[in-house]
Structure 1
């Protein structure tokens, strides 16, 4: 018998599974576990958005959608970006509706990457960018930001640009960040943009947490660098619509046209009724999002206070819904080992920092996208664990 699995595309051997979801699945075997792992809002999709989706299905909006997106949603995205962010894109030529940001990032990286190209991936970061580059035939180079407050600085970026020279095709920017919760100011991004402006280098921007930016104004590479920026965003986090799979991608028309080729063969289209619901969400404004944000801030502040009291050294989250915390001295320092010990002994599930690449070792990521009751109980359990295990 021929072992056909040995005859698959060889590059896939270098593509790991998503450890975040693997561990979360492992933790699910414990009936009473409190999860601070997967970053999914615990809120339900707002009622007016659900009703728009139901109405669309009742009106038989269940057939193929235009491959670039419905006219209504494309217009709503363009209007939302112009009104809320002062970013201006032509809905007919510069915007694609994607199956979440995940597909938008994949299609963008596949469209711009040639064999040998380097994509710079600041880490710690969510675990999709490096595998996407690998599958595209490029080289993902991790840029460890753990010594620069988890931000790319001009000096750090310049060092990598000098090292890899003309091979650099793109730089990933996630703002606000998963897993650290940090957010760049516009001034910081402007300075970084100056290093790649006018060069054949794309800024690939994941702004899925842009509406969950609590302590600062919106900032984007698309402002100083519109001709070189591929902007991705979506409604999963801001409108609690993870299961609807609605994202969007914006770029200059000629760039969008090339990315569309990948998108169209990977996806065909995105469900029409999901797009109608997303249109309703955007046209309904930001009231529902702001109500959720207020609760996230309460949860963030409470969790930050409790973790700090236990001896965790935490980054100050400015956005998203994560706290990135350094494991206290006296506890197991291997983050991949301690998460299994915590879930077994304390029935609390958290994510290992090393799952997010270079610079994440020795840290844990806590998601506060869950109820205050769960957070209080989880922090109580963790405090008992730390007290019993520290310097054991």
Structure 2
């Protein structure tokens, strides 16, 4: 008998549901659960940004914007990337405003990946990269990174997985879930391999503003790398604007022009109120952004030390707002650890296994939660671990 699922495209039918959302939904449905599972700031979008949007509504600014986004927003994005990270983009031809960074990643893969092309994805990493590659007909080739290396991608590991079908390298630093970063010196040998094998790089820099003790370095800022690198970012994390759904993608005009065409037919434009909010954030929200970053840094230090004090070894995250402690000493798999932690200690974390092969034996905890909740979570985890 034919079922409705028989009508589905195999590309859609075969992808797994989000492992992060599974634990988020379980936490949302329970009582007295402290959720460290979802990467969402506990801060509210700054008041000035919200007021700017209220004023825009009052003035009737509820229309479409140009497909590529408001010109003044693209100009501010280009200026911001130049002054903050040393990458110079033409706001007209090299910047496209999208519905969050997620749409930007999908657009880049749609215009670059042909059936059978291989996309190299260092893992552990954000869970969407491999499924989106699959949906676009590509094959994700996962290359493992390790805690002892700070979860950095190495030139040796990259070179070992390149084949004649390799087309794209997709990286995310600062990294979700590990908090790992790449320095200028780390990127130099990667850039050499990329040029040697004529790869294109898609770099997801949504956590670029959240680095601790050093400034974020984009691969696109290295000599000769701008034209073969597509930079994706947005406002969700550092500006506490997850629900506004505004991101952007920057790159060579040929890439952006192709993405703009797909964007025109599938999305038309990002929501104009979200764009107004993003513009206000860049013009008048930097102080609040920095305040949030300092708060994350304080929580980071406290939570990492707390995990170590209760017996969980933990890599020192230098970016984003996640810790990735090892749970191998408990003898439990990451999935079993997370399930029992949720059920028995009422703390929601994400098993590291959902982030790729290198994530087994770890869990991801977000410290984008209140300090009080982080301390309470540590107390609960401590009691539960002692019972184990």
What's the TM-score once normalised by structure 2's chain length? 0.97
Q: Where do 5+ consecutive residues of structure 1 fail to align?
A: none
Shift >3 Å, 4+ stretches:
none
Q: Could you tell me how far apart the structure 1 residues matched to 2:384 and 2:213 are? A: 32
Q: Could you tell me how far apart the structure 1 residues matched to 2:207 and 2:188 are? A: 19
Q: Could you tell me how far apart the structure 2 residues matched to 1:195 and 1:121 are? A: 15
Q: Do structure 1's residue 79 and structure 2's residue 79 form an aligned pair?
A: yes
The alpha-carbon deviation at position 285 of structure 1 amounts to: 5.2
Q: Could you tell me how far apart the structure 2 residues matched to 1:158 and 1:136 are? A: 24
Taking the TM superposition and a 5 Å limit, the aligned residue runs for 1:272-311 are 272-284=272-284, 286-311=286-311
Taking the TM superposition and a 5 Å limit, the aligned residue runs for 1:207-246 are 207-224=205-222, 225-246=225-246
Q: Could you tell me how far apart the structure 2 residues matched to 1:176 and 1:44 are? A: 22
The alpha-carbon deviation at position 277 of structure 1 amounts to: 1.2
Q: Deviations over 1:125-147 (max 9, x none)?
A: 01111011100101001111126
The alpha-carbon deviation at position 264 of structure 1 amounts to: 2.0
CA contact (8 A) 1:14 1:134 kept: no
Q: Could you tell me how far apart the structure 1 residues matched to 2:86 and 2:284 are? A: 18
CA contact (8 A) 1:353 1:365 kept: yes
2:43 is aligned to 43
Q: Where do 5+ consecutive residues of structure 2 fail to align?
A: none
Q: Do structure 1's residue 249 and structure 2's residue 260 form an aligned pair?
A: no
The alpha-carbon deviation at position 198 of structure 1 amounts to: 6.1
CA contact (8 A) 1:203 1:230 kept: yes
Deviates more, 1:379-388 or 1:7-16: 7-16
CA contact (8 A) 1:311 1:328 kept: no
Deviates more, 1:197-206 or 1:149-158: 197-206
Q: Could you tell me how far apart the structure 2 residues matched to 1:195 and 1:215 are? A: 28
Q: Could you tell me how far apart the structure 2 residues matched to 1:386 and 1:240 are? A: 33
Q: Any idea what SS the aligned residue of 2:227 has?
A: coil
2:7 is aligned to 7
Q: Could you tell me how far apart the structure 1 residues matched to 2:149 and 2:261 are? A: 38
Q: Any idea what SS the aligned residue of 2:363 has?
A: strand
Q: Deviations over 1:58-109 (max 9, x none)?
A: 1111111111001111111111111212211111110000111111001101
What's the TM-score once normalised by structure 1's chain length? 0.96
CA contact (8 A) 1:313 1:326 kept: yes
1:99 is aligned to 99
2:152 is aligned to 151
1:353 is aligned to 352
1:340 is aligned to 339
Q: Any idea what SS the aligned residue of 2:294 has?
A: helix
Q: Deviations over 1:261-313 (max 9, x none)?
A: 22222211111111111101011252111100111111111111110011211
1:22 is aligned to 22
The alpha-carbon deviation at position 2 of structure 1 amounts to: 4.8
Q: What is the alpha-carbon root mean square deviation over aligned residues?
A: 1.3
Aligned residues: 385
The alpha-carbon deviation at position 23 of structure 1 amounts to: 1.6
Q: Could you tell me how far apart the structure 2 residues matched to 1:347 and 1:285 are? A: 35
Taking the TM superposition and a 5 Å limit, the aligned residue runs for 1:65-76 are 65-76=65-76
Taking the TM superposition and a 5 Å limit, the aligned residue runs for 1:50-65 are 50-65=50-65
